[in-house]
Structure 1
Amino acid sequence: MFRVSRGFLVLLITLVSATLALSACSSPDDSASDGGAPIQVNTSKGSVTINGVPKRIVALGAQWIDVALSFGVTPVAYLDNIQVLTGKPAPWSSDQLKSSTALSTDGVVEQVAKAKPDLILATSYMADGQPEMYSQISKLAPTIPGITGKQIDPWQDMVTFLGTVLRQPEKAKEITAGVDDKVNATKKELPGLNGKTYTMAYMYSNDQIQVLGDPDDGATYLFRSLGMNIAPALVAGFRRNGQPRYPISTENVPLLDSDLLVLTANTDQLMSSLQKLPGYRNLRSVRSGAVSRLSVAEIGGLNEPTPLSIPYLLDKMHPALQKASV
């Protein structure tokens, strides 16, 4: 999600780490009675071997949580950056986590150890930004330090990977196809979205608005799939400063001009302040009603796309998308 100073859990999804070269290979006898032949995963942190099908998975990060749940696998314990920020799990996954243990940001290693995992799904930032913590955690069980090393792992790659680990490659294909079908249905229903522009804006202080400018960022997945592009003025800002997400001052509200505005704020008071800023009412999206106000948790689901968040958010944003398509 947009950069907020909340320590390790938020840094999980805001800092770019070194690229990983990851490949999973298994021998032909995956259906062996012992639960499957070992899978060896080569990462920038060394080779990781997963023996058999994991039964006790600890998921560190919102994307891994959702990917596991999409397979019908409830992590024995989880560390959710969205829950750390908002106090509760994301609305698309909360009902499925009632039997799982939520970990706090204090004493992470000890809590993971208590869960007795046989597989730990982590992120590349933990490996590169918190090497001491990663070193301790990776001694507890086979630990995967992210998939690609990108700021946001593509959810499709994560689904494919976990499908291989769980010996459910066909299920992985079904999950991906189901999300694609939902996106394609929206695209077919609203063909006018093709070529339209959008803005993602997050007001996090009285004088700063965070915007997304990198057209290749993981948060653009859904909009790219619908044929939409980030507002050119914001892309130009990214080209100048090199920051995928960067702050603009409140007097620069006109930079938010686009066909669709996806908006959130830390508090209702900040949201109200944003809507009263000079230039806000003149934005094309505001004039047409193509504004989707999302919660902090929901904007997190756009910034970290998952097979659970995408269908939920398509439904949530549908009224605004419909107006933007005209």
Structure 2
Amino acid sequence: MITRVVRRATASVALLLSVMLAVSACSAPDEAGGDGGPVQVNTPQGPVTIEHTPKRIVTLGAQWTDTALAFGVTPVAYLDQAAMLGGTPAPWVGVKLERSTPLAMDNLVAEIAKAKPDLILAEGFMATAQPETFAKIRELAPTIPGVSGQQVDKWADLVTLFGTVTHRTGLAKEIIDRVNGKISQVKADLPGLKGKAYALAYMFSSDQIQVMADPNDAAGLLFTELGMKVAPKIAAAYAAQRQPRFPISTENVPLLESDFLAITAQTDALRTELRKLPGYANLSAVRDGAVANLSVAEITGLNQPSPLSIPYLLDQMRPELERAANSE
């Protein structure tokens, strides 16, 4: 569901980040292209002031990249671990980043410097999990390290913040309303989803599967809005250990028992292995044909939802969601 680098980092940051970030505009008229007034963003690392409407934005993470693209803004450079892992951009991104420079973790600070950014948007874990790198990055330009204390930010919060710092609050509202409208339509079309259980899982090795467990996590909110709930056995494990995401051994596949399952594996070989795991064929979602077999990029789009990934994935998963809604 997340890359190994991000998985290790976010596992620790959940215990360290607890303060919701407050975004306050000193002067934020709705301007599509003007300089606008300064905007201050209050973060656990201190206030970040953006003096003018940013023109050269670097995005460190798929959520921020998707958010920028939703506004029609192409970042000058971007870091996308899921694309590096899967080898191709997410399908909802397509060719939109052809004129942007992809970044890699190796020599990251120097590569960001080459892009000459006037704003850097980073994932929240970076400031705490990679403090030395973050300290160097923030010297290059005003840097915002996420917008919340959760492992994954809510997509609407990112849209709101991006609209504020770019002085396009009206467009931000339009984007949020459009995505929420899509979610509401699916809920109205499939009332049978109410009360159904779901599981999100990513088999990243031959002996471990990563699961999402927190119903209040940004990844879980989409399904909560559809009236669904976390798979009971995963919810029980979360109640005991309070880890929003955690690995389970492949022998514990029955924990994935649910009405709807969104799942992927790191490689084609692991996908084949997954289907042969003891207990997998007996899962209700498997028997009912309610398994959305997603790519690494697609499962990342669920795990780190964005205004671009949500509409795409709701369409992509529609047949399996319909089967889950109609299951007994």
- TM interval, shorter chain, is over 0.9
Tell me what 1:68 maps to.
68
Tell me what 2:319 maps to.
319
Q: Which moved more, 1:152-161 or 1:34-43?
A: 34-43
Instruction: Determine the C-alpha separation between the residues in 2 that align with 1:29 and 1:223.
Output: 34
Identical-pair percentage: 54
**1:114-153 → structure 2 map (5 Å cutoff):** 114-153=114-153
Q: Which runs of 5+ in 2 are unaligned?
A: none
Tell me what 2:210 maps to.
210
Kindly report structure 1 stretches of 4+ aligned residues shifted beyond 3 Å: 9-15, 28-34
How many Å apart are 1:10 and its aligned residue? 5.1
How many Å apart are 1:246 and its aligned residue? 2.1
Question: If the length of structure 1 is used for normalisation, what is the TM-score?
Answer: 0.93
- CA gap of 1:37–1:101, structure 2 versus 1, over 3 A, is same
Tell me what 1:199 maps to.
199
Q: Which moved more, 1:135-144 or 1:10-19?
A: 10-19
SS in 2 for 1:73: coil
SS in 1 for 2:91: coil
How many residues matched? 323
String of CA shifts for 1:103-122, please: whole Å, max 9, x gaps.
11111111111101111111
Instruction: Determine the C-alpha separation between the residues in 2 that align with 1:52 and 1:44.
Output: 22
Q: Which moved more, 1:67-76 or 1:103-112?
A: 103-112
How many Å apart are 1:75 and its aligned residue? 0.2
Tell me what 2:80 maps to.
80
Amino acid at match of 2:93: S
Contact 1:221 1:305 in 2 (8 A): no
SS in 2 for 1:279: coil
Instruction: Determine the C-alpha separation between the residues in 1 that align with 2:237 and 2:46.
Output: 38
How many Å apart are 1:71 and its aligned residue? 0.3
Instruction: Determine the C-alpha separation between the residues in 2 that align with 1:93 and 1:55.
Output: 20
- CA gap of 1:168–1:34, structure 2 versus 1, over 3 A, is closer
How many Å apart are 1:145 and its aligned residue? 1.3
Q: Which moved more, 1:310-319 or 1:215-224?
A: 215-224
Instruction: Determine the C-alpha separation between the residues in 1 that align with 2:217 and 2:302.
Output: 11
**1:1-326 → structure 2 map (5 Å cutoff):** 1-2=1-2, 4-5=3-4, 7=5, 11=8, 14=11, 15-16=13-14, 17-18=16-17, 19-27=19-27, 35-326=35-326
Instruction: Determine the C-alpha separation between the residues in 1 that align with 2:249 and 2:31.
Output: 58
How many Å apart are 1:200 and its aligned residue? 1.5
How many Å apart are 1:13 and its aligned residue? 5.0
Instruction: Determine the C-alpha separation between the residues in 1 that align with 2:167 and 2:242.
Output: 40
Instruction: Determine the C-alpha separation between the residues in 1 that align with 2:245 and 2:60.
Output: 23
Q: Which moved more, 1:205-214 or 1:11-20?
A: 11-20
String of CA shifts for 1:37-78, please: whole Å, max 9, x gaps.
111222221221111211100111110000000000000001
How many Å apart are 1:12 and its aligned residue? 5.7
Contact 2:120 2:144 in 1 (8 A): yes
SS in 1 for 2:48: strand
Instruction: Determine the C-alpha separation between the residues in 2 that align with 1:33 and 1:88.
Output: 31
Instruction: Determine the C-alpha separation between the residues in 1 that align with 2:132 and 2:125.
Output: 12
Q: Which runs of 5+ in 1 are unaligned?
A: none
Instruction: Determine the C-alpha separation between the residues in 2 that align with 1:250 and 1:28.
Output: 51
Contact 1:12 1:61 in 2 (8 A): no
Instruction: Determine the C-alpha separation between the residues in 2 that align with 1:127 and 1:178.
Output: 32
Q: Which moved more, 1:27-36 or 1:208-217?
A: 27-36
Instruction: Determine the C-alpha separation between the residues in 2 that align with 1:198 and 1:130.
Output: 33
- CA gap of 1:130–1:278, structure 2 versus 1, over 3 A, is closer
Instruction: Determine the C-alpha separation between the residues in 2 that align with 1:106 and 1:25.
Output: 35
How many Å apart are 1:33 and its aligned residue? 9.8
How many Å apart are 1:84 and its aligned residue? 2.2
String of CA shifts for 1:5-41, please: whole Å, max 9, x gaps.
3x3x555655424225322222376769961111122
Instruction: Determine the C-alpha separation between the residues in 2 that align with 1:48 and 1:283.
Output: 48
Contact 2:77 2:115 in 1 (8 A): yes
Amino acid at match of 2:186: T
Question: If the length of structure 2 is used for normalisation, what is the TM-score?
Answer: 0.93
